[in-house]
Chains A and B, each alone.
Chain A
Amino acid sequence: MQHADKAATFIQNESKTDWHNASIWRAREKRDVAAHGIPEWEHLRELASQIKDNVLSNLDHYLVQFEEAATRNGVQVHWAATAEDHNRIVLGILQKNKLSKVVKSKSMLTEECHLNPFLEANGVEVIDTDLGERIIQLRDERPSHIVAPAIHLKKEEIGELFHEKLGTEKGATDPNYLTEAARQHLRSAFMESHAGLTGVNFAVAETGGVVIVTNEGNSDMGVHLNKVQIHCMGIEKIIPRAQDLGIFVRLLARSAIGQAISIFTSHYHRPKAGGAMHYVIVDNGRSEHLGREDFRNGLKCIRCGACMNTCPVYRRSGGHSYGYTIPGPIGSILTPGKDLKQHSDLPFASTLCGSCSDVCPVKIDIHEQLYKWRQIIAEEGHLNRFKRWSMRLAGKILSSPKAYRRFGRLARWALRVMPSSMVYNRWNDWGKERELPTAPKQSFKEWYQENHPAS
């Protein structure tokens, strides 16, 4: 099913769509307040972008430097070319240590690799410990937003879910009460688990450490209460120096939710006494994406979600309509590189308004990439028939002044005389939720010639 079809289903519940839109827009507003509070904000964005440019141009070197430093720190480093490799490596670490219960803090990478179903199929219990992730895990859903995975759910739905799964009172919807129930539930999961698994926000090449940010503290609970800790990271998470963290940490939480910093910014460098620490460095298509000149900037992403919060299409279609782990504008420029045909609808899930590029903390040219993907999708013949023919027709009309004038006259006449059932036909997508304008009798050009006969 295409994005547009899923979005059509999503917007059927009008009040929920309005709520979703407003609730996510609030995050964008908070981001603005936080960003405007920093006089050097634009300078920080520029530096972040330049540092990431440097990282992409030296990625092989930095990864080796990172591995060497990490090994010196006593960390075991594993390399995974594909999602399958990643999953096998994680399972291998668990099996070698005879561990069958894992607590996981938020990681979009493990979502991308479908780690949970793989581990479960191999007899490992996985508990997601970010509250939003736990909610969707209990609902057997996937995240609809990379920062707030359960943003699509109302508290009534969560109350119902917790009543069924965690035994909270029926009909209870108070977020404080529900969070307390989750706290008790997750705290016992932390105590009973065998290994802690996390994603990675930043991997520092010079020190060999990884940095993970959370508001709940669930990463630290999972990592510190278990002897074995595993951190899974995409190759693009590298930053060169410890001082670069100053730039990225200042940008990340402000861009995401308008917070000056996340509550916990945890720096892990060495295993705890008597414990073991593993990194799994994952490629899964990233090195290939690095070779796409027009699109490699997408690898600079620090997963703040600002582009989603600002996107008028995302806010009104919901994260699930994108059909991929990373939804919204950034997802729409990363996915065509994974499978052009399967995701050919996503670059069209945008108005090309450019707001995503304006808020991106690392200055990814998101809307330009969306436009470029559209051209590639058209060239490679993945447009649907309606879009292909209408574009061809529009191309013909717009490239010939004569045809353009003739078509304009025809359209103005048709809008005036055709009954509305014919105007609002099933091919008129624009007219589905909108009134078409009243057609004037003449074009501007005709009006001008009539009123300025001398010129």
Chain B
Amino acid sequence: MSKEKILSRIQANKPAARALPDIPAFEFATSDLHAAFTSLAEANASRCLSLTSTDEMANFISVQFPEAKQIASTYSSYKGNVDLQAVTDPSELKQVDVAVIPGQVGVAENAAIWVTEEDCVHRALPVICQHLILVLSKKQLVGNLHEAYQKIQIDQSGYGVFIAGPSKTADIEQSLVIGAQGARSLTIVFID
């Protein structure tokens, strides 16, 4: 049995016990979390905007993505035109032009947003759509990643992800190209 073999070799070879350190509370130096988040998001080629109502969101989408045919939304106060519950094979979602998904926590130090399976209905949605819109409240912002991990429970959902921008690559001569395999753009909408 491989398992027994591996474990007994580890027992025979492992070093003397070393204590697991406690992780101190590292504070995030900047108090304006929204400003810090926005500047990092823009550095990651995301776009940030603050809206006051969901009407403004509909307006933004029609202006920004005039050609969008399929809009899938899991954000409760904005209705798209794709019935996600009716989708059985996630590869059908490749037709989705714009997906609107609520985020749970935004991290100011790196502009990443925690999104879970429950927020997406289909795990593939935020990555397979052409353009992604994540909705957050400024109250959901934290300073650094330690605070974020305190706030979320990573195994509460079968799948959860920090998304920090549009899909990108620099695999060809280290030239940055936005829109590799995942969404081509990320817009973060703050609604408060």
Contact = CB atoms under 8 A, between A and B. Distances in A.
Contact of A57 (B16, B44, B174, B179): B16
Given A151-B174, A225-B91, A265 B167 contact: no
A250 B182 contact: no
A10 interface: no
Contact of A242 (B123, B128, B149): B149
Contacts of A323: none
Of all A-B residue pairs in the complex, the 10 with the closest CB atoms, nearest first, are: A217-B182, A291-B13, A270-B158, A260-B110, A132-B171, A224-B124, A287-B9, A216-B180, A261-B110, A246-B146
B135 interface: no
A129 B112 CA distance: 23
B159 A263 contact: no
A290 B145 contact: no
Nearest to B152: A242
A40 B162 CA distance: 22
B171 A149 contact: yes
Interface stretch (A175-183, A390-398, A409-417, A435-443): A175-183
Interface string A267-296: 111111000000001010001101101001
Interface string B95-124: 000000000000101111000000000111
A154 interface: yes
A40 B26 contact: yes
A1 B2 CA distance: 35
A272 B173 CA distance: 36
A50 B148 CA distance: 22
Interface of B: 1-3, 5-7, 9-21, 23-24, 26, 29, 40, 44, 90-91, 94, 107, 109-112, 122-124, 126-128, 144-146, 148-150, 153-155, 157-175, 177, 179-183
16 contacts: A56-B18, A73-B158, A81-B2, A130-B171, A179-B180, A183-B180, A186-B181, A191-B94, A208-B155, A224-B128, A244-B23, A250-B144, A260-B40, A267-B154, A269-B160, A291-B12
A265 B162 contact: yes
A175 B171 CA distance: 9
Main secondary structure of the interface of B (DSSP, over half): loop
Interface residues on A, range: 35 or more
A221 B146 contact: no
B18 A53 contact: yes
Nearest to A240: B20
A32 B167 CA distance: 24
B182 A216 contact: yes
B123 A263 contact: no
B158 A79 contact: no
A263 B168 contact: yes
Given A264-B182, A290-B14, A243 B146 contact: yes
A223 B167 CA distance: 16
A217 B132 CA distance: 13
A277 to B, nearest CB: 9
Contacts of B181: 129, 131, 183, 186-187, 190, 216-218, 221
B127 A79 contact: no
A138 interface: no
Contacts of A139: none
A7 interface: no
Interface string A25-69: 011000000000001100100010011011011111001100000
B186 to A, nearest CB: 9
Contact of A243 (B1, B112, B150, B175): B150
A190 B110 CA distance: 29
A126 interface: no
A348 to B, nearest CB: 27
Contact of A175 (B40, B148, B157, B172): B172
Contact of B179 (A23, A64, A79, A179): A179
A245 interface: yes
Given A26-B174, A59-B10, A217 B23 contact: no
A25 to B, nearest CB: 11
Interface in A194-215: 204, 207-209, 215
B98 to A, nearest CB: 16
Contacts of B23: 47, 243-244, 246-247
Most chain A CB inside 10 Å of its own CB: which residue of B1, B144, B149, B181: B181
A154 B173 contact: yes
Nearest to B163: A264
B179 to A, nearest CB: 7
A158 B181 CA distance: 18
B90 A179 contact: no
Contact of A246 (B127, B145, B173): B145
Given A56-B15, A225-B91, A243-B146, A23 B173 contact: yes
Contact of A266 (B17, B29, B109, B159): B159
B3 A79 contact: yes
Nearest to A26: B174
Contacts of A215: 167-170, 180
Given A220-B161, A267-B155, 10 more contacts: A215-B170, A216-B169, A217-B180, A240-B20, A243-B146, A260-B111, A265-B164, A271-B158, A287-B9, A288-B13
